[in-house]
Structure 1
Amino acid sequence: MSRLARRALLALAALGAPWGLAAGPAAAQPFPARPITVIVPFAAGGPTDTVTRLVAEAMGRDLGTTVVVENAGGAGGTIGAQKVAQSRPDGYTLLLHHIGMATAPTLYRRLAYDPVGGFETIGLVTEVPMTLVARKDFPANTLAEAIAVIRKQKERLNYANAGIGAASHLCGLLLMTAVDAPMTTVPFRGTGPAMQELLSGRVDLMCDQTTNTTEQINSGALKVFSVTTKERVAALPSIPTSAEAGLPAFEVTVWHGLYAPKGTPAEVTQRLSQALQAALRDPRLVARFAELGTAPVAQAMATPEAHHKFWLDDIAKWKPIIQAAGQYAD
């Protein structure tokens, strides 16, 4: 190219010629321009993993890109949460976590990240009932019978959970408080491995979300004593609530929410929230959630603002409970 031609090109660029601008930063592709990764802070095969994979697939359809699920389990979900909190705040690395986001600020007195200030909220996803389940040859058939066995055998029974701070741990803590009898807790790196041990009969009892137990219950692979909600679950209509079975103090549900690292641009979190809302309207996701004993939250709750308020309220709810129990993860 001659010197004269180069000067002409530079002059056109300086004047803001459309093709000249297209080569500059202002022409960056709209979000998302590449695949998005959603971190699940628990092992593959668990209930949060199941929820995440369904949501990721549906969001990907709305966003027009692949949404990859990556498992980063351990330490009650804090390893995966830390990974996201310390990621680039560009919307391409997200976290889908459950009620543990409300308990971590109290359960963990020393964390390498800010458990509240390290994230932007995107929206709530679902509020999942829990079930009290046992190995299929457990010597009880009703909740009242199970309570009698727990009070008699106490620490001789093994209660499985996904680690301190996991939903299964919190549910078990509430159960032992409600029946006033301790059991030997056996933590695992996620609910998936814990469930495998329960199915094999090597542990006795476990609290787990309906997204992970409904199919096992219906197949007869596990015994179930109650659902931990105010009302019965449509996917398990014959299973009584804990209150119906005589233990009203044993009530807990597990909500899930989607997060981005702190500092993610508002326009990006809003786009992700729109995609989440679209996903929660997707008939395929709604139908699959129903099969697993849960349902999407109302659309008004799948927003950054509603999610943030709900999260802070739940932190305030769990703080005195954890402090009273005196059980901390560090």
Structure 2
Amino acid sequence: MKKWLVAASAAMVFAAAGLGAAQAETYPSRAITIVVPFSAGGPTDTVTRLVAESMTKTLGQQVIVENVGGAGGTLGAARVAKADPDGYTLLLHHIGMATSATLYRKLAYKPLEDFDYVGLVTEVPMVMIAKKDMPATDLKGLIEYVKAHKDTVTYANAGIGAASHLCGMLFMQAIETPLTTVPYKGTGPAMTDLLGGQVDFMCDQTTNTTGQIKAGTVKAYAVTTKARVPSLPDLPTMAEAGLPGLEFGIWHGIYTPKGTAPEIIAKLEDALQKALVDETVIARFAELGTAPVSAADATPAALEAKLKAEIARWAPVIQSAGVYAD
């Protein structure tokens, strides 16, 4: 009986392995969904839709973008963590994948344990902007203004853990002035209220702000990169504008649920690599103030290393600020 059980168990293991190999061989046979854990119209959504369109051509199946916003991106990430690891449900997330590990006391997933990796996509600069009728004309003036009106000025963000939240937190630390923050369920609605003058200022990715800056519907003050952004050459860096040390970009990566077959991940990595050298993607990224990562960074190993390093980098910053969410 024991021998029969062992043999049966072994047969089941081999059968499962064979099924997995067969699935990987025919993958993809239907549409693939990339979950964006933020609302439509935001910067991560924009990046995802450009990449998804190109990956569709390589994979031969439609790559659909689904927005699952809320809780600083953790709702969408949790959904993908619990999905079948069959390659048909992916996650494109930004730096919030790393900061959520410290920000949230009750996280429904483990960033380093519940996902497999496809590769990095892009690293987007941030830019400080304000409503069109903000009196300040440069970053120095903006800092003076918000300090003088710290009890009434409002800073918009896309929710705890969002890129705009992190930038605002670093800005307030740098100027040593706490401000009233107004969280939204995504950058899209935050931008809408900024344009309408319901909030005063925010810091967000160039992928979401470049169009508004060029149209003159918002005031722009400085970018968070070491060098100026080619698509916004007249904007100084934070250091040039008088606030050194506030430098960081918002990186994006593609994940799958843990347990995805290596053969499937390899096909997704290949599609991502081809998307990042797609002339249309490169041109659109440039218009938005960013660029695709190198081929060496668009790999599972590079994304895993980046996530581990960023969790370690942001944990003490968040702990020092004392900002947590349930």
Normalising by structure 1, what TM-score?
A: 0.91
Paired position in structure 1 for 2:318:
322
Partner of 2:105: 109
Question: Counterpart of 2:298?
Answer: 302
**Which amino acid counterpart does residue 45 of structure 2 have in structure 1?**
D
In the alignment, the residues of structure 2 paired with residue 251 and residue 329 of structure 1 have an alpha-carbon distance, to the nearest angstrom, of 25
Q: Structure 1 residue 151 and structure 2 residue 147: aligned?
A: yes
Q: Could you tell me which residue of structure 2 aligns to residue 190 of structure 1? A: 186
Could you tell me which residue of structure 2 aligns to residue 278 of structure 1? 274
> Which has the higher Rg, Structure 1 or Structure 2?
1
| Cα distance in 1 between the residues matched to 2:56 and 2:151 | 46
1:131 aligns with 2:163: no
- CA–CA distance in structure 2, aligned partners of residues 329 and 51 of structure 1: 27
Alignment equivalent of 1:55, drawn from 51, 56, 70? 51
* Partner in structure 1 of residue 227 of structure 2: 231
Among residues 218, 223, 236, which one is paired with 1:222 in the alignment? Answer: 218
Which residue identity lines up with residue 125 of structure 1 in the other structure?
V
2:309 is matched with: 313
Could you give the per-residue CA deviations for residues 155-198 of structure 1, whole angstroms, max 9, x where no partner exists? 31110000011110000000000011111100000000000000
Note if contact 1:199-1:222 (Cα within 8 Å) is conserved in structure 2: yes
Give how far 1:249 is off.
Answer: 2.2
Separation in 1, partners of 2:151, 2:309: 34
> In the alignment, which of 83, 106, 111 is matched to residue 79 of structure 2?
83
**Structure 2: how far apart are the matches of 1:310 and 1:250?**
20
In structure 2, the residue matched to 1:6 is: none
Cα distance in 2 for residues equivalent to 1:242 and 1:149: 17
**In structure 2, distance between residues paired with 1:250 and 1:154:** 20
Code of the aligned partner of 2:249: T
Match of 1:206 in 2: 202
Distance 1:271 1:109 in 2: 35
In the aligned structure 1, how far is the partner of 2:114 from the partner of 2:151? 38
Q: State the Cα deviation string for residues 1-39 of structure 1 (Å, max 9, x = none).
A: xxxxxxxxxxxxxxxxxxxxxxx9686562111110000
* Secondary structure of 1:269's aligned partner: helix
1: distance between equivalents of 2:118 and 2:62?
Answer: 18
**Matched residue, 1:96:** 92
- Residue in 2 aligned with 1:249? 245
Over the matched positions of the two proteins, sequence identity in percent amounts to 61
For 1:245-272, what per-residue CA distance to the aligned partner results, in whole angstroms no more than 9, with x for missing partners?
Answer: 0101222210000000000111111110
| Distance in 1 (alpha carbons) for counterparts of 2:49 and 2:166 | 24
Corresponding pairs, count? 307
Q: Distance between the aligned counterparts of 2:249 and 2:167, measured in 1? A: 9
1:87-106, Cα deviation, whole Å (9 max, x unpaired) = 00011000000000110110
Cα deviations by residue, 1:118-153 (Å, 9 ceiling, x for unpaired) = 100110000000000000000101000001001111
Change (3 A) 1:141 1:48: same
> In the alignment, residue 328 of structure 1 is paired with which amino acid?
Y
2:52 matches 1:74: no
- Contact 1:155/1:182 (CA < 8 Å) preserved in 2? no
Are the aligned partners of 1:124 and 1:301 in contact in 2 as well (CA < 8 Å)? yes
Aligned residue identity for 2:268? L
Whichever residue aligns with residue 77 of structure 2, its letter is: A
Structure 2 residue matching 1:281: 3-state secondary structure:
coil
Mapped to 2, the partners of 1:261 and 1:321 lie a distance apart of: 28
Specify the alignment match of 1:17 in structure 2: none
After TM superposition, give the deviation of residue 329 of structure 1 in Å.
1.3
Contact 1:131 1:227 in 2 (8 A): yes
CA shift in 2, pair 1:27/1:176, >3 Å:
closer
Runs (4+) of structure 1 moved beyond 3 Å? 24-29
User: What is the CA RMSD across the aligned residues, in angstroms?
Assistant: 1.2
How far residue 115 of structure 1 moved from its aligned partner, in angstroms, is 2.4
Match of 1:45 among 30, 35, 41: 41
Deviation at 1:310, TM superposition (A): 1.1
The question of whether the paired residues in 2 share the 8 Å contact of 1:76 and 1:100 is answered with yes
C-alpha contact (below 8 Å) 1:227/1:233 kept by paired residues: yes
Aligned partners of 1:253 and 1:157: how far apart in 2?
A: 25
Secondary structure of the 2:276 match is helix
Consecutive unaligned residues of structure 1, counting only runs of 5 or more, are 1-23
* 1:94 alignment partner AA: L
What amino acid maps onto 2:151 in structure 1? E
